Amino acid sequence: MPFRLVLLAAAALLAVAASAPPAHPWRLAPFKDDLFAYRNVLASEFGGDYLRIEYDKKRDMDDRSQAPQKARPEYVSLEVRAVQSDQVLRTGGMTIRYVGVGQVIGGAKAIVINIHGFGDDRFTGVNDWTYGGNQNRLKNLMARNGGAYLSVDFSPLTARAVAEVKALILEYAERSPGAPIFLECISLGGRICWALARDAQVAPLLGGLVLLSTEDDARFLAAAKTADPKSWIPVFIGHATLDPIFPWKPREAFFRRFKAALPGYPIALTLYVGGAHGAPVRMIDWRLVLNRMLDQREALRALPPN
C-alpha cells in the first residue's frame, strides 16, 4: 500500500484504536530489514550488549552507493518526504529551527531527535541519500509507525545549544505526552546529549541515548550508581575501530566500567570493526536498537520501587 494511503488509513482508525487497549506494546515494524541487518557478527558478550560487527568498505559503502554520498535507490524510500517539513519553534527568547518528519503536530508514539556533529546542520539529519540511506530508513521507521523524527539546528556554544535542544524536547513532551524521546547524538553532538541526560527536567522524558562516534561521560556513570533503577536511561554506543577523532578503546573501557559497576544497567556497545568516523551512522540497525531500548524501558518501569 502506498505510504500516503497508509497515513490516511491510520488516521481513519485512530479513534477506534484510542478506545481499545493495545494488544501488545508499541514497537517499530520491519522496514528494509534485509538491507540494513548486520552481515557478520565477529563477537558477542554480555548477552549481546557488546557486539563486534564487521565493516567491509566494498560491501557496506561501495556496493550500497550509486555515486559518492548517494545511496542506491533500493536503500531509500522518498515517500516519507510527504510528511516532512521545515519548522520553527520560538520560545524563551530563542528561535529554534528544525526539520520535522511524521507526527510533528502531536500524538507521536515515540520521538527521535537528531543532534548533529561539527559542521553539519538540520538538513544533514534528513538527507535521504547519505550514509547508505540509513537516515532515510530512520525517518521511515518513525513516520510509518506513528512516531516523529526531528533534526535540529543549535548554537555553536554548548550551553546555549543545550538550552535550545532542551526547549524543543519540552515542547514535544507537551505535544505528545508520555512518548519516549530518543536522542541520536553524533560526534561532538554527544556533549549536548550527555548534558541533557543529567538535566532533571529532561532525563525523565528520555527513552534512550544513541551515541554514535562520540565521547563518554564519567559523570553519567557516577550518577547512575546512586539513582533509582526505575530512572535509568538506556544507552547505546556505536563506534568504529578506525575512528581517528575519538578512538574506540576509551569507549570500550567506559562500557566495561559500567558493566562492572552496574551489571544490570541497560547499556550496549557495538563496535564496527574496520570502519572510520562515519561508519556507525551508516551501519546502525535502527529498528533493532530502538525496539530493544523500548523493551528495556518497559522492564525498568516494571521494577518495584527502590
What is the H or E stretch that residue 12 is in?
Answer: helix 3-19
Q: What is the band of 7 on the pLDDT scale with cuts at 50, 70, 90?
A: very low
Average pLDDT over residues 284-294: 98
Average pLDDT over residues 115-130: 97
pLDDT digits (tens, 9 = 90+) for 65-85: 999 999 999 999 999 999 999
Per-residue pLDDT at 91 exceeds 90: yes
Per-residue pLDDT at 1 exceeds 60: no
Per-residue pLDDT at 13 exceeds 80: no
Q: Which long-range contacts (CB under 8 A, 24 or more apart) does 153-162 make?
A: 153/96, 153/97, 153/98, 153/121, 153/122, 154/96, 154/115, 154/192, 158/191, 158/192, 158/195, 161/192, 162/192, 162/195, 162/196, 162/199
Per-residue pLDDT at 192 exceeds 60: yes
User: How confident is the prediction for the chain on average, in pLDDT?
Assistant: 93
pLDDT for 157 equals 84
CATH class of the 3-301 domain in this structure: alpha beta
Per-residue pLDDT at 6 exceeds 80: no
132 — alpha (psi -120 to 50), left (phi > 0) or beta? left
Per-residue pLDDT at 9 exceeds 60: no
Contact 76, 133 (CB under 8 A): yes
pLDDT for 23 equals 55
Point out which residues pair with 235 in neighbouring strands: 209, 267
Per-residue pLDDT at 52 exceeds 60: yes
Average pLDDT over residues 189-202: 97
pLDDT for 19 equals 39
Average pLDDT over residues 270-294: 98
What are the extents of the domains in the chain? 3-301
